[in-house]
């Protein structure tokens, strides 16, 4: 009945923007943060937000450091359980990007009680709970508010050895660059929202977004130690997150476009004009640092495509890149060596056709 809470409405129809495409633009965020006076860091704080790392890290003991992160967003998919899975996988990813393992998760929920049935959030939370269980972590509580728009995510805490932390500041000239998931979730979900494609038609992208980025359990200690820097690719796109890694490490990154893993129909949807605001803001954010000679317009758009629960970008010892890539392909079939690290040049990012 009209005016009654509903459980059948496609979730993407309830929001203007969804997933990591709803992030505040990186340029705007940097301006805001530059005006905030943060407390003087405690000596046990090993990683903070100065380099736009994926999570904070605080040393608890000489052998244990705590990894903390928080991520939430509006619906990117129509099916509530799938949205919950993707939101959870996306939040858990930040701990994995630091080389850690998640141990606890707390839910963050804004829910329109007047227009949506509670059945919807039950399904969202069950999807998230299933992913937390898959990560062998514990769902320990959370906080909720009544709001006009559905938003959901997790605050996640994990552990890592203080001497085995991955950050985005350790890339070395000569390293190979590995990406563990395909690109294109931004344009594909934009096409879903505008009813050009169905969830079934973007099944590869849905499965990719719902896959937790647990790479650490697929690597030996030696292989994990060969990872010099890492970040996950989310709302700022490959271009934005790669630029932040290059800046933090004071290096340049060279990519070969033909080696990028690209999700099915992603380039087609970019060509058809299924874009988000983040495609523009990510391009503006990276414009001064980016060289893309040889790429066409739609190939360049892919670099700026805002990913939700995207892959990890790893900068690894070149002697170990083949074995690391092979190991990760068992769980992440799109894993590819996509480029290399060089000494800092006139640009931070170089993409060759």
For 181-237, write each residue's pLDDT tens digit. 999 999 999 999 999 999 999 999 999 999 999 999 999 999 999 999 999 999 999
Q: How confident is the model at residue 40 (pLDDT cuts 50, 70, 90)?
A: confident
Residue 2 has pLDDT above 60, yes or no: no
Judgement on whether residues 49 and 134 belong to the same structural domain of the protein: yes
CATH number of the CATH domain containing 205: 3.90.650.10
CATH number for the domain that contains residue 111: 3.30.1330.10
Q: Which two tokens stand for residue 209?
A: 């977004």
Q: Please give the model's pTM, rounded to 2 decimal places.
A: 0.94
Whole-angstrom Cα distance, residue 178 to residue 311? 10
* Domain coverage including residue 330: 176-352
Which neighbouring-strand residues pair with 152?
Answer: 73, 109
Cβ neighbours for 302, distance < 8 A, ≥ 6 positions apart: 183, 184, 187, 238, 260, 262, 266, 267, 270
Instruction: Based on the fold, state whether residues 189 and 90 are members of the same structural domain.
Output: no
User: Band of the pLDDT at 22, cuts 50, 70, 90?
Assistant: confident
pLDDT band, residue 30 (cuts 50/70/90)? confident
Residue 147 lies in a domain: yes
- Mean pLDDT for the stretch of residues 164-191: 98
Mean pLDDT of the region 99-124: 96
> What confidence tens digit (pLDDT) does each residue in 64-107 have?
999 999 999 999 999 999 999 999 999 999 999 999 999 999 99
183 contacts 307 by C-beta, under 8 angstroms? yes
- Confidence band for 160, pLDDT divided at 50, 70 and 90: very high
Which of the residues are catalytic?
Answer: 20
Task: Yes or no: say if 12 and 193 are a contact pair by the CB < 8 Å rule.
Answer: yes
Q: Is the pLDDT of residue 252 over 50?
A: yes
Alpha-helix runs per DSSP H in 194-265:
203-209, 221-225, 237-249
Residues 192 and 339 in one domain: yes
Q: Are residues 231 and 196 in the same domain?
A: yes
Examine residue 171 and state whether it is found in any structural domain, yes or no. Answer: no
Number of domains in the chain: 2
User: Do 197 and 143 belong together in one domain?
Assistant: no
Phi-psi region of 261 (alpha: psi -120 to 50; beta: other; left: phi over 0): beta
Please give the full DSSP string across 32-74, using - where no structure is assigned: HHHT--PPPPPTTEEE-TTTT-SSEEEEEETTEEEEEEEEEES
* Euclidean distance between the first and the last CA atom of the chain, given in angstroms as a whole number: 55
**pLDDT for res 3:** 62
170, 228 in Cβ contact below 8 A? Answer: yes
Q: What is the DSSP string of 189-219?
A: HHHHHTTSS-TTTTHHHHHHHTS----GGGS
Are both 40 and 151 inside the same structural domain?
Answer: yes
Residues 26 and 110 in one domain: yes
């Amino acid at each position: 009945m009209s005016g009654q809470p509903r459980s059948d409405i496609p979730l993407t129809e309830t929001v203007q923007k969804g997933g990591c495409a709803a992030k505040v633009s990186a340029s705007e965020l940097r301006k805001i943060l530059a005006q905030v006076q943060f407390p003087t860091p405690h000596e046990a704080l090993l990683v903070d937000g100065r380099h736009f790392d994926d999570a904070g890290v605080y040393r608890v003991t000489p052998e244990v450091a705590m990894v903390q992160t928080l991520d939430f967003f509006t619906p990117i998919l129509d099916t509530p359980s799938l949205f919950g899975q993707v939101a959870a996988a996306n939040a858990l990813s930040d701990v994995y990007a630091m080389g850690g393992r998640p141990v606890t998760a707390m839910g963050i929920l804004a829910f329109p009680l007047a227009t949506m049935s509670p059945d919807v959030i039950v399904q969202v939370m069950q999807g998230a709970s299933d992913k937390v269980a898959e990560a062998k972590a514990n769902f320990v509580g959370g906080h909720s508010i009544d709001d006009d728009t559905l938003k959901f995510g997790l605050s996640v805490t994990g552990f890592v050895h203080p001497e085995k932390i991955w950050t985005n500041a350790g890339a070395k000239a000569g390293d190979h660059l590995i990406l563990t998931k395909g690109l294109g979730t931004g344009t594909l979900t934009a096409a879903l929202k505008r009813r050009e494609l169905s969830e079934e038609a973007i099944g590869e992208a849905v499965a990719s977004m719902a896959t937790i980025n647990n790479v650490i359990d697929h690597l030996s200690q030696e292989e994990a130690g060969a990872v010099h820097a890492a970040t996950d690719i989310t709302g700022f796109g490959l271009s934005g997150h790669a630029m932040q890694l290059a800046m933090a490490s004071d290096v340049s990154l060279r990519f070969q476009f033909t080696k990028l893993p690209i999700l099915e129909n992603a380039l087609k949807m970019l060509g058809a004009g299924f874009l988000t605001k983040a495609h523009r803001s990510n391009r503006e954010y990276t414009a001064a640092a980016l060289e893309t000679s040889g790429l066409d317009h739609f190939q360049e758009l892919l670099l700026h495509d805002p990913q939700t629960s995207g892959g990890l970008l790893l900068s690894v010892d070149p002697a170990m890149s083949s074995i690391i890539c092979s190991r990760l392909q068992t769980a992440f079939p799109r894993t590819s060596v996509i480029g290399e690290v060089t000494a800092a040049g006139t640009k931070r990012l170089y993409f060759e056709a």
